[in-house]
Amino acid sequence: MIDIPNYKTLTITHIVCDYNGTIATDGSVHSTIKALFEKLSQNYKIHVITADTFGSVHKELENYPVIIKVLNSNNHTQEKADYITSLGASESVAIGNGNNDAAMLKEASIGIVLLGDEGCSSSILISADLICKSIENALELFLYPKRLIATLRR
């Protein structure tokens, strides 16, 4: 449990990450992700949600402590939001950078947008609770939760 003064008390079970633009670039997972996922998986269930544009998600995340959700509808924005709802939105964090991540971030208890190498869509900014410059910074918030408190308290 993370109590953020004058904001909310978080009980996070799930961390849901978009794939491309979030934990991967051009279909390849960032080299720092495995160690972070291994640490985080001791306290959280880690999910990766993707349309798998490059067809690489299963190979790239083989032997990672994650649940992979490959999107299969024609409305990825809604499918991502529905996935957060199915997990329990109040217990979920969502991290992404694209237009189709906006509803997922808004639905989650904490939505984090990345302004990384790929940039981020302008529409997602109003859906997020936080903006981070890298996936490493975003994930480390849940290893060092006082950072969340420092940023979100009112």
Question: What pLDDT score does 123 carry?
Answer: 87
Could you tell me the pLDDT band of residue 78, with boundaries at 50, 70 and 90?
A: very high
DSSP per-residue string spanning 50-80: E--TTS-HHHHTTTSSEEEEE--SS-HHHHH
Could you tell me the pLDDT band of residue 46, with boundaries at 50, 70 and 90?
A: very high
What are 89-146's pLDDT values in tens digits? Answer: 999 999 999 999 999 999 999 999 999 888 888 889 999 999 999 999 999 999 999 9
What are 55-68's pLDDT values in tens digits? Answer: 999 999 999 999 99
The stretch 67-73 carries a mean pLDDT of: 96
| Sequence-ordered list of residues with C-beta below 8 angstroms from that of 22, at least 6 positions apart, any chain | 95, 96, 97, 101, 114, 116, 135
Q: Computed from CA positions of residues 99, 129, 38, 120, in that sequence, does the dihedral angle turn out positive or negative?
A: positive
Residue 99 DSSP one-character state: G
Contact 66, 86 (CB under 8 A): no
Q: Computed from CA positions of residues 63, 92, 17, 57, in that sequence, does the dihedral angle turn out positive or negative?
A: positive
What are 79-100's pLDDT values in tens digits? Answer: 999 999 999 999 999 999 999 9
| CATH, range 2-152 | 3.40.50.1000
Model's pTM, two decimal places? 0.96
Angstrom distances, CA of residue 68 to CA of 10, 45, 60, 64, 122: 24, 11, 11, 10, 27
For the chain, the domains span: 2-152
Tokens standing for residue 28: 């390849």
Q: Computed from CA positions of residues 136, 134, 50, 9, in that sequence, does the dihedral angle turn out positive or negative?
A: positive
